[in-house]
Amino acid sequence: MLLILKPQMTKTDANELIARLAWMNLKTFITEDDNRYCIALIHHPDQKINLELFSELPGVEKIVPFKERFKLASRNFKRSRTIIEIGPVKIGDGSLTFMAGPCSIETEQQVYQTAQALASQGVKILRGGAFKPRTSPYDFQGLGETGLDYLSKAAKAHNMLCISEVMDTKEVEIVAKYVDILQIGARNMQNFSLLKAVGEIKKPVLLKRGMHATYHDFLLAAEYILTAGTMEVMLCERGIRTFEGYTRNTLDLSAVPVLQELSHLPVIVDPSHAVGMSRFVPKLAYAAVACGADGLLVEVHPEPNKALCDGQQSLTPDEFAKMAKKCMQLREIL
């Protein structure tokens, strides 16, 4: 349940209240919304809670039960949209954030060349995979820590932030050492140990929707990261599996407005993995912008036909530039 505090209550008052509740062995989370503090009390379903007891606590204005199984991710907990600030970049503030770069980091030159081209387009976040979740064990698995080193140096050299996927709890600290945003891939959306481990690192996380996950599954996965201690979580729609086999996946655009209504977390769309064919990526990106996406995650490679991974869905820097320009124009019109 949620304790909505009276408007005059300060953060110190809220923390004092949390300290008073410590004996009850409840998990507490605090948020500021509409200039007042709210405390989420998370208790075990078997734990009997007397609501009246809480309404009599000093400073408590009202008690609101959580409507959904996901709590911290819900609009119930936080009515205003979460804005994630990483250095000069703000995600979820109504602007459109681009995260772009190759599927995999292949060489130092490839990632530098991509970073340079994207930075000149105003892109602030460079993507690149170093630990790759490949369907076949015989495919290129990524450069590991060497790749992360290339990625972070290329990003720094071009005044960019960077994002990369972490696949295993054992690698969380290594990846976190190099990147500004940790990515959890679709295949790991319900790897609960990994979700807890990235949450504990307290760095922003981009969580991709599992290919068979419902919105509720997706938000409950986000809840694992939030309850582990990181409120800076982005939800990424990257297409789901349907009966349609022509495209790699089916981009579920309903996810954008629905998730934004159910949750305060920013919603990013990845049109590249959704459709899997570069020629269709721009059209899906425009549609995502029209649906109100907070950002786009796009694969860009200087020479897609030579890419070691996902070249067929990667845009060239020039194609990306044209697409990004149109996306911004579209956003202005809307």
Binding residues (CB under 6 A) for ligand PEP: these are 103, 129, 133, 165, 185-187, 208, 238, 270, 273
Binding partner of residue 182 among Mn ion, ligand PEP, none, CB under 5 to 8 Å per kind? none
Min dist CB 32 to ligand PEP, Å, is 33
DSSP string over 38-75: EEEEE--TTS---HHHHHTSTTEEEEE--SSS--TTBT
Token code pair at residue 287: 């549609």
Token code pair at residue 301: 């490679």
Token code pair at residue 329: 């124009």
Binding partner of residue 175 among ligand PEP, Mn ion, none, CB under 5 to 8 Å per kind? none
Min dist CB 299 to Mn ion, Å, is 6
Binding partner of residue 186 among Mn ion, ligand PEP, none, CB under 5 to 8 Å per kind? ligand PEP
Sequence letter at residue 69: R
**Residues of span 294-313 touching Mn ion by CB under 5 A:** 310
Q: Which residue has the tokens 């503030």?
A: 93
Binding partner of residue 294 among Mn ion, ligand PEP, none, CB under 5 to 8 Å per kind? none
Torsion over CA of 69, 75, 78 and 84, rounded to 10 degrees? Answer: 100
Binding partner of residue 133 among Mn ion, ligand PEP, none, CB under 5 to 8 Å per kind? ligand PEP
- Regarding 285 and contact with Mn ion (CB under 5 A), the answer is no
25 or 135: CB nearest ligand PEP:
135
Token code pair at residue 34: 């509409």
Sequence letter at residue 154: A
Q: Bridge-partner residues for 207, per DSSP?
A: 184, 235
Min dist CB 299 to ligand PEP, Å, is 7
248 or 264: CB nearest Mn ion:
248
Min dist CB 118 to ligand PEP, Å, is 16
What order do you get walking across the sheet with 27-33 strand by strand?
A: 27-33, 36-42, 2-5, 60-64
Cα dihedral across residues 257, 262, 266, 269: positive or negative = negative
Binding mask 91-110 for Mn ion (x = CB under 5 A): ------------x-------
Q: Bridge-partner residues for 28, per DSSP?
A: 41
Token code pair at residue 333: 């019109």
**Residues of span 35-64 touching Mn ion by CB under 5 A:** none
119 or 213: CB nearest ligand PEP:
213
